[in-house]
Structure 1
Amino acid sequence: MLGLLLPDRPLHLLCLGAHPDDVEIGCGGTLLTLADRPGLQITAAVLTGTPDRAAESTRALEEILPSVKTHFLGLPDGRLPDHWGEVKQDLEDLSRECRPDLVLAPRVDDAHQDHRLVGSLAPTVWRDALTLHYEIPKWDGDVAAPSHYVALDAETGRRKVDLLNRHFPSQLAHDWWDDELFLGLMRVRGMECRAGYAEAFFATKVLVELR
């Protein structure tokens, strides 16, 4: 399988989430893999969540990269489409100071309405960045065929799950939140790209430079 490599220079990543654990679930392993990259910048923007939930996410992201910049809007969970204008304006305001090379956002066809809104707006705001849309497992059976993968070794997969359990105590009571779910999805995605574990992404537009 032919792989695509990120450019060998300092990179700025923007991670967008609808809820305070979206980024960590969807691309936490990818962020852990990139964390040692020299000059890496990560900005994380989350649109919903109480202050307590935002604090959980901040601690998790700071463990991955202490210099991460976080932004929480605090809109109501499950009601983002009712706040379309506020979400769009908040992202546009953020874009004036945040010019990332890579945007990681939810899928545009995600079964959750909050995820769909954030995912669909991301490429309309950051038009010149590569946007990869991550997946979030849920009871809706919301699994699709990815276009891109980031391979993870077993240690990184385990570190991701440990980070989720340690930093999101508010979510541990959910019946869907367990190690087998997170590791199982990463293992399936790893099998699909001939790796031990992987996180999967979806892209609608990718420029391939031939040189």
Structure 2
Amino acid sequence: MRLTGGSGPVTVVCLAAHPDDVEIGCGATLLALRESRGISGAVLTMTGGAERQDEARDAARAFTADALETHFAGLPDGRLPEHWGAVKTALHEVARRVPAPDLVFAPRPDDAHQDHRLVGELTTTVWRGPTVLHYEIPKWDGDLARPNVYVPVTAEQARRKIELLTSCYPSQVDRAWWDDEMFLGHLRIRGIEAQHRYAEAFTTYKTVLEP
């Protein structure tokens, strides 16, 4: 499918192990979709207490103009593999609410973080028809892979993503890796690979082309 220049809103499901995963992994893409075609759908976040859930709601509202429903599974951070069944159930519940999305955004199934990895692994067992784009999250593990899907974004969208990350997630800004330089540098590197100034990158393991 063409992400920009088409007609009608794009229906998306955004899956996250933690609050801020979606916005770090595909925030600029969501901004681009919102501006070009409009979006609808839902965000599911597996972990996070009350403060972090409030941040995630604010972020969903800011990035998508309140176009996406927000859902939370309320599971413990860092322990998702112990709650395999609850994760699977939460995914199926969102699939019931949004039965035929155009795109599903999820962590990579080979992500070094166990929470990300489990959500990524289970995503394609629940959504077998839609295109699943596995986003990447930079971290100290150094687990960035070679992506095979790129979404070019404008300089304004890249910078807006960074502004919103800072304003929507104040609880995270004191982390050593959380700064504008890191976020913009990552967008710039993927932009070089896509022959654009800035881009977000994804991995997909199956794509169906319909003539």
| TM-score of the aligned structures, taking structure 1 as reference length | 0.94
Deviation (angstroms), 1:155: 0.8
Matches within 5 A, 1:4-153: 5-6=2-3, 8-38=7-37, 40-65=39-64, 66-99=66-99, 100-153=101-154
Q: What secondary structure sits across from 2:25 in the alignment? A: helix
For 2:49 and 2:77, the matched residues in 1 are separated by 9
Establish whether residue 161 from structure 1 lines up as the match of residue 162 from structure 2: yes
For 1:187 and 1:38, the matched residues in 2 are separated by 24
Deviations, residues 147-173 of structure 1 (Å, cap 9, x unaligned): 000001111100000000111110011
Which residue identity lines up with residue 191 of structure 2 in the other structure?
G
Number of residues of Structure 1 aligned to a counterpart in Structure 2: 207
Q: CA RMSD in A?
A: 1.3
Query: Structure 2 vs 1, CA of residues 174 and 39 (structure 1 numbering), >3 Å: closer, same or farther?
Result: closer
Deviation (angstroms), 1:80: 0.2
For 1:91 and 1:208, the matched residues in 2 are separated by 25
Deviation (angstroms), 1:74: 1.2
Is the 2:42–2:94 Cα contact (8 Å) retained in structure 1?
no
Which residue identity lines up with residue 127 of structure 1 in the other structure?
R
Which residue identity lines up with residue 201 of structure 1 in the other structure?
F
| TM-score of the aligned structures, taking structure 2 as reference length | 0.94
Deviations, residues 59-111 of structure 1 (Å, cap 9, x unaligned): 01101222320001110000000000110011112212212111000001001
> Percent sequence identity over matched residues?
53
